Structure 1
Amino acid sequence: MSRPVRAPRAFCASALLLCSLPLMAEEATEGLLEGSSLQLINRNFYFNRDFRSRGDGVFNPQRQSYREEWAQGFQGFFSSGYTAGTLGVGIDAHALLGLKLDSGGGTSGTNLLPLDSQRRAEDDFSAAGAALKLRAFDTELKLGDLFPITPVFQRGDGRLLPQSFRGVSLSNTSIDGLILQGGHLHAARNKASSNHDGEMSTEYGGTAYRSASYLGGEYAFADGTALSLYQARFEDVWTQRYLSLAHTFAFDGGHALDLGGNYYRTRDQGSARAGKIATDSWSTYARLRTGAHSLMLAYQRIDGDQPFDYLGDGDSIYLANSVLYSDFNSPNERSWQIRYDFELAAWGLPGLSFMARYLRGSGIDNSEVDSTGAYAYYATLGDGGKHWERDFQLKYVVQSGPAKNLSWVVQQTTHRANSAQSDGDVDQVRIITQYPVDVF
């Protein structure tokens, strides 16, 4: 049974604040049907992950050394316009379907497909939902099934079908360049699930919680500077604050330099169901872009005796060294990255791009991890942890014609770690074909 939405006082006050901002827009005139849209997304996903001879790790408690699955997903997203008048009413709806193309009892578990009690992949799974939306000038309220995207609470979309949540969200765009967002969620449907009333949990600790709230915003300055500030509260688990600052320096001749940094401050909250948490996590990066080439250097630190943790099955980790396999987020870890991108349009192949990167993490210290808390696994690993990851990606996007925006992506990852690092030795390959179609 669904739990009723119980918005905390802080969120209610924040909602009133957003609604009280200057309302400068004119009344909506688009109409319920005239302003509607329908997008279909076809996604084909092949995933091969080999844990080599070491079948353990925080994400592999079953000690299954090899996983390989292939699946087809269909996603449909309908968004209506708004009824005319000062207060516009509309609806967002979605329908999702996942089909197994290949998976065996000994190779399941890539999170493309749900598993039965014997850890065998289901032949298919589906989900559907909707959200009521209300708009007054530049403020929009949604109630129902949501796909939030913020640095502190973001739905996951790294597998066949996207994750969704149930609750209420509020956004405001009254000021040019400023986006304000708030939300209160009470149930989850994870990426490989049909259950809309699933329990929410954390990614690394697996700690369940009843509700989560977030509030924040981002502002784009006219000079190329971007600032983001958010806060999230996972009930009886943690309070997490996020700050990011980025700036782009443009030079003559098509050259540009991007500089930026991200910071998370996580502290236990309420009854501290995951145990004591006092972690400061930050990263900084510099990216030089010149013509078809891009070179990035990044550095990341986890200052705390717990790993940096985030929304379970989600993507709310904006640290620079969170990549295809590892997040480089172990207790007290320091890591760096070098990345190179090349747009092959310079060679007469528009739409084709290549990426290569290498990351190394070290200084992992698990000595102060609580051996009875949610992160007790780390306490068994000892100190001196280190690891590295190497990623390659080749992507092609059709540029024109009936198949415009059809894309193919091939990703290959190699990860190696010593016995004091939690992710283990992994080789993985992902091949993703995606075709989005805007029906209207």
Structure 2
Amino acid sequence: MHAVTQGFTALAVSLACAAAQASDQSESAGFVEGSSLRLLNRNFYFNRDYRDAEPGDQSYREEWAHGIMAFYESGFTQGTLGFGVDAFGLLGLKLDSGRGRSGADLLPVDSDDRPEDDYSSAGAAVKVRLSNTELRYGNMRTEAPVFATGDSRLLPETATGLLLQSKEIDGLDLQAGHFTAYKLRDSSNQDDDLYLNYGENRIGKSIDFVGGTYALSKQLSASLYASDFDETWHQYYGNLNYVLPLSDTQSLDMDANLYKTRDAGKALQGEIDNTTYSLALGYAFGDHKLTVAYQDVDGNTPFDFVGGDSIFLANSVNYSDFNGANERSYQVRYDLDFAGYGVPGLKFSARYLKGDHIDGTKADPLGGYAGLQGEDGKHWERNLDLRYVVQSGAAKDLSLRLRHTTHRANEAQAEGDVDEVRVIIEYPLELL
């Protein structure tokens, strides 16, 4: 029995053996009394200009859409075992786009590349809780570093499967999951295939994972995860995060991430032996923060991942993940919180990244990454981000965000020359 299955079994045993005293379940308010209902309105404008598009290719994408999202979470019934239900409904509405401008992934497109006027989806998960351990089955969002659904467009992605989470020990958060289907960000279907970001061969049918995070102190935490992507790979993840307070207004923080991926089973995406890591060091002083980061990919294939956000690396940013085969990349970032200047809720960030040494020519010629990248690939990216959150009044928690991205690359890197603008307005409401 491989490590992921063993880990899943061990975590299941903790569910059966969990103590019934002082716990989340023993303090359950009840199915209805513990319920919550949230509504989120998201207005999203997106344009992307491909500056180096070939004649005849689509060189510009522009979509404007409005999303309405409702999330219901019941409480748990009282007793030793508590039962509950979570549900969601998602609706996306086109405000502006058209044939020749579609493809920004805010809206689905028809067979003629025309964006749909609207799309929607709904899903639910049943849940059971014993002590501080919960088991969920159905449609849900996930956050594990080896399988995390994304939320970078109009509507969030969701996955279908089983998730077990245990917090029986203070500071220790354990998870295990088995997932078989996926809803993409611009899709209405809850039963799409699992989503692989870069590999182009047949997709595995399921993913299993187990792992957890332990807070060793208020300043130091560590994470370890392992996953098994059906007939494709075994992937392992580790993280160390440390915050060192220097004074009341100054601190240093360090974040280290490591992924190890090796092909397994039928190796549907071909031969893979990839070690990717990132190191980030930040210095916060007052309302300012400076961050530098380094990321390294050791392998003849890109670092790839299942699910839209399963890349917990420092240099995965707005447009590029800086995860090319054999790539080295560097980042410098500046953050400013305007609260100290009399404008609470206003934040600004700017970052610049540069990647080089990319060589994808040695990838398995029969694998899913063959021909994806050339030799001596290079690129850079600049991100500017301005966000304001209303602090009080009738519009409290209304947020407005402007994001601008510039990316430039040589032909071997393959992601192209891009200018991009995103304008995002969100208004959350707590109805229950």
Interval containing the TM-score (normalised by the shorter chain)? over 0.9
Amino acid in structure 2 at the alignment position of 1:323: V
Residue segments in structure 1 that go unaligned for 5+ positions in a row: 1-7, 57-61
TM-score in terms of structure 1 length: 0.94
Corresponding residue of 1:86: 80
Corresponding residue of 1:5: none
Corresponding residue of 1:382: 374
Residues in 2 aligned to 1:410 and 1:12: alpha-carbon distance in whole angstroms = 42
Per-residue CA shift, 1:342-386, capped at 9, x if unaligned? Answer: 0111221111111000000011112311232101132xx431111
Corresponding residue of 2:14: 18
The correspondence of residues 41-440 of structure 1 with structure 2, limited to 5 A, is: 41-55=40-54, 63-207=57-201, 208-312=203-307, 314-378=308-372, 381-440=373-432
Residue segments in structure 2 that go unaligned for 5+ positions in a row: none
Confirm or deny: 8 A CA contact 1:91 1:130 kept in the other structure.
Answer: yes
Confirm or deny: 8 A CA contact 1:307 1:331 kept in the other structure.
Answer: yes
Confirm or deny: 8 A CA contact 2:256 2:280 kept in the other structure.
Answer: yes
Confirm or deny: 8 A CA contact 1:28 1:86 kept in the other structure.
Answer: no
Residues in 2 aligned to 1:412 and 1:185: alpha-carbon distance in whole angstroms = 34
Confirm or deny: 8 A CA contact 1:18 1:171 kept in the other structure.
Answer: no
Secondary structure of 1:18's counterpart equals helix
* Cα distance, 1:394–1:289 mapped onto 2, change above 3 Å: same
Corresponding residue of 1:3: none
Amino acid in structure 2 at the alignment position of 1:97: L
Say what the alpha-carbon RMSD is for the aligned residues. 1.6
Corresponding residue of 1:4: none
Residues in 2 aligned to 1:394 and 1:284: alpha-carbon distance in whole angstroms = 25
Secondary structure of 1:16's counterpart equals helix
Per-residue CA shift, 1:250-297, capped at 9, x if unaligned? Answer: 012410000120000011111000001100000001000000000000
Residues in 2 aligned to 1:437 and 1:142: alpha-carbon distance in whole angstroms = 25
Residues in 1 aligned to 2:235 and 2:136: alpha-carbon distance in whole angstroms = 23
Confirm or deny: 8 A CA contact 2:8 2:210 kept in the other structure.
Answer: no
* Cα distance, 1:107–1:172 mapped onto 2, change above 3 Å: same
Confirm or deny: 8 A CA contact 1:28 1:137 kept in the other structure.
Answer: no
Q: Tell me by how many angstroms 1:9 deviates.
A: 4.8
Q: Which moved more, 1:12-21 or 1:92-101?
A: 12-21
Identity %: 49
Amino acid in structure 1 at the alignment position of 2:37: L
Amino acid in structure 2 at the alignment position of 1:43: R
Amino acid in structure 2 at the alignment position of 1:288: Y
Residues in 1 aligned to 2:371 and 2:117: alpha-carbon distance in whole angstroms = 33
Amino acid in structure 2 at the alignment position of 1:47: F
Confirm or deny: 8 A CA contact 1:296 1:339 kept in the other structure.
Answer: yes
Confirm or deny: 8 A CA contact 2:86 2:124 kept in the other structure.
Answer: yes
